[in-house]
Each structure stands twice: as C-alpha cells, then as structure tokens.
Amino acid sequence: MNEPLAERIRPQFLEDYISQQHLVGENGILTNHIKQGIIPSLILWGPPGIGKTTLANIIAKTSQRPFYTLSAISSGVKDVREVIEKAKKSGGLFTAKNPILFIDEIHRFSKSQQDSLLGAVERGWVTLIGATTENPSFEVIPALLSRCQVYVLNSFDKNDMVNLLKRAIEKDEFISKKEIKLKETDALLQVSGGDARKLLNIFELIIGTDDKIEITNELVLSKIQKNTARYDKTGEQHYDIVSAFIKSIRGSDPNAAVYYLARMIEGGEDVKFIARRMLILASEDIGNANPTAFILANNTFQAVSVIGNPESRIILSQCAIYLANSAKSNASYLAINEAQSLVKNTGDLSVPLHLRNAPTKLMKELDYGKNYQYSHDHQDNFVGQEFLPEKISGKKLYEPGNNPRENQFREVLKKRWKSKYKY
C-alpha cells in the first residue's frame, strides 16, 4: 500500500467529483463543454488540494483525448517542445479530439517557456489546461491568457471535506475494511487548511495500522505534533492572512498590519507579492488623500525586487506602517467603477466634434477640432468647455473623499465648474 490515500480514491468521473458545481454540476459550464465534445484551452485557478489535476484528468478521460502532463517545476522549453511534438503525432489538427496538455503550476513557467506554448495552442495542436494557485492575470503572459478560458475553483467547505472523509472510509479498499467512527472532525479540518490532499494524508496517518478507531479532536491534535495549518504560502492561510493584512492597513491599524506582515514573512511569502498588494492598496484605499503613498509603495516594490531577504522585511514594514497611518480615500476606485458602468450602459457615445483629432483635410472640412479652446491660452490654464459626450453632459463620476487634500480638490472643482458638476 505505497500509494497515498488521496491517489487511491481520486475521482475518475464527473459524477464522483466533489464540489465546483458551477463548473461540473448538471448545468456546469465544463459539463456542457464535455457533452458537446468541445474543450477550449483553459486555466484552472484556485488554492491547492481542491482537485485541479483531478479535473484535468477527468476532462481528458471523459472526452477520450490523449493526455500529456508537465510540471512547471521540473520542465524546460525543450521538454515542452518534445511533448508538443508527441501530441501533434497523436491527434489530428483542428479536430474535436485534440490532445490535452496539462501543465501543473503553470505560473512557475518563465516567459520563454510560456511563449513556447503559443504556437501549439493557436494552431490547435494541443488543448492546454493549466493549473495555478496564483492570479493568472499576474503570472500568465497576456498572449497565452487571451487564448484560454479562466475558471475559478472554490475552496472546499466543511461539508465537502467531511464527504471526502466518508468516501475514504466507504470506498478505499484498505480503510473500508477497518472500523472507523468519525465522532469529531473540527481538528482534522483545521489542520488541513482546506487542502483535500493534506486532509486525506493526515487522516491516513492518524488511522495508521489500527483496525478500530474513533476520530476525535483530542486524538487528532495529540498525533499531529505541529499545527500544519500554520501559514502556507500556497494554501488557504495565504488568502486569509493577506486579506487580514490588507484590511488592517485599510482600517488604519499599523500594529495588526505588521503582525500579519510578519506572519507572511515567517511563512516564506514572496516579498514581491506583498509589495504588489500594498501598491494596489495605495491607489485603491488611499489614492489622492495622500498621493505620496503610491510613490512610496511603488518604490518599495522596486526595492524589494532587487534587495531580497532578509533586509526586505524592514522596507516592507516601513511601507505597511506608513500606509496604515495615511489618510484614506477610495474616491478614485469608485470613480472608475462608476465610469465603467456608465460606458457599459450607454455604449460608444460620439466624442464632441471640437475634441476630435483632425489630421486630414477632410476631417477639418467636417469641423473636427473646430472651436476647441486650448486651456493654456486662458487664465489659470482653464476654460469652461464641454468634454463629455452630449448625452451625459454634466454627469459627475468623481466625488472627492472627505480628507484635507481632496476637500481642496472639491473647492477647486466648485470654482472652476460652478454648478455643472454640482460639487
């Protein structure tokens, strides 16, 4: 019995797959793709141990396609090209049975490695399925990402995890022969941190060679010497702690911010990931209440990118404390949300004629650019003219936050635009 429990009870069919009903339920989007026999290249994004690899295997088996797999940790460009050549020989071009190439931890692939996949995906030699625990918007090159559908896999809830344990007790050829009672499961679920693979490994460890056992919280904690749910930079704790870190800064609590920063640092988190999150926060939650915050956050990101550990912790701490103590405003964030919503609802409104570019004689004859007033030719570099399309003239999208700097913005806007935007 050398094969781990997680492998022995790995689902082979969609109906055995636990959770992710939005993808593989009766009306799930992947279920429909499989039924139609049309599988697009896709990225499966979610925390570890929730069945990304299992799902890729099921898709290949159910759709009866050749299946090739690579690990981004151990594969180079040469390996990618070799697998693509094998795949080309095993499937026809642009058919419904294109081979599936599964790449685990695709976010670890370098740009050149990802570039080497483009031609095969574009020409239909392979259907790519990538698995990642990181946001693909940051970790997958745009050219490859644009050729893939991104599907988000959700963390298992308590019922999912308990059902996994029950399946192991009922279905595994070895464990099903034992007399096991699940009296309490809270400790098991806690130490697994939402990772199904870890849950099953711990469960198997606790059972050991006993033929009769009652699972209690006390038993689990006594057998697990170290709390395995301590910060795991690829697991659920990763998401929970970075969330607490950001919310502590947003809530102006430097003490909590530094505490959660220390949790991430001690857990081996990528310093660039931490700095990137602070850079986003500096714009989203502080914005023009203190524009210097964004400059400091950007400099922090640049600094930790070249300095590394252990000194980066000092720079990150300085930045986190500064951001926590800074005035807060989400006015810019709300403004772009409002503007995008307006664009979606109103469509492509015509740009006023006087604002249009007029590089040709015909355009000038059509009054493109006519009556435009150059702001620098007027007092205080300002002249009140129309900039929005006529249909939404006077629509206010930016509401200054209630802080000293943006209150100054409000007064200037009132003076310039009088009652047009009603500041």
286-298 pLDDT tens trace: 999 999 999 999 9
The CATH classification number of 351-417 equals 1.10.3710
The residue-averaged pLDDT of 114-139 equals: 88
Fold of 236-325: Zinc Finger, Delta Prime; domain 3 (1.20.272)
What is the distance between the alpha carbons of residues 14 and 28, in angstroms, rounded to a whole number?
11
What is the distance between the alpha carbons of residues 139 and 17, in angstroms, rounded to a whole number?
27
Per-residue pLDDT at 123 exceeds 70: yes
Q: What is the mean pLDDT of the chain?
A: 87
The residue-averaged pLDDT of 242-263 equals: 94
Q: Give the pLDDT of residue 236.
A: 52
What is the distance between the alpha carbons of residues 148 and 129, in angstroms, rounded to a whole number?
8
Q: Give the pLDDT of residue 75.
A: 77
- 3-class DSSP state for residue 76? coil
Q: Which of 34-48, 58-72, 255-269, 315-329 has the highest mean pLDDT?
A: 315-329
The residue-averaged pLDDT of 156-179 equals: 90
* CATH of the domain spanning 20-152, picked from 3.40.47.10, 3.40.50.300, 1.20.120.1690, 3.40.430.10: 3.40.50.300
More confident residue, 320 or 93: 320
For the ranges 8-17, 80-89, 370-379, 383-392, the lowest mean pLDDT is seen at 80-89
CATH class belonging to 158-223: mainly alpha
The residue-averaged pLDDT of 245-252 equals: 95
Per-residue pLDDT at 87 exceeds 70: yes
What is the distance between the alpha carbons of residues 12 and 10, in angstroms, rounded to a whole number?
6
pTM of this structure: 0.56
- Rg of the chain in Å (alpha carbons): 28
Per-residue pLDDT at 64 exceeds 90: no
186-240, pLDDT tens digit by residue? 888 887 877 888 889 889 888 888 889 999 988 888 887 544 444 555 455 667 8
Per-residue pLDDT at 91 exceeds 70: no
342-353, pLDDT tens digit by residue? 999 998 899 999
Per-residue pLDDT at 133 exceeds 80: yes
Per-residue pLDDT at 94 exceeds 50: no
Locate the domains of the chain by residue range.
20-152, 158-223, 236-325, 351-417
What is the distance between the alpha carbons of residues 272 and 278, in angstroms, rounded to a whole number?
10
Pair of tokens at residue 89: 């020989």
* C-alpha closest to that of 140 among 113, 173, 177, 162: 113
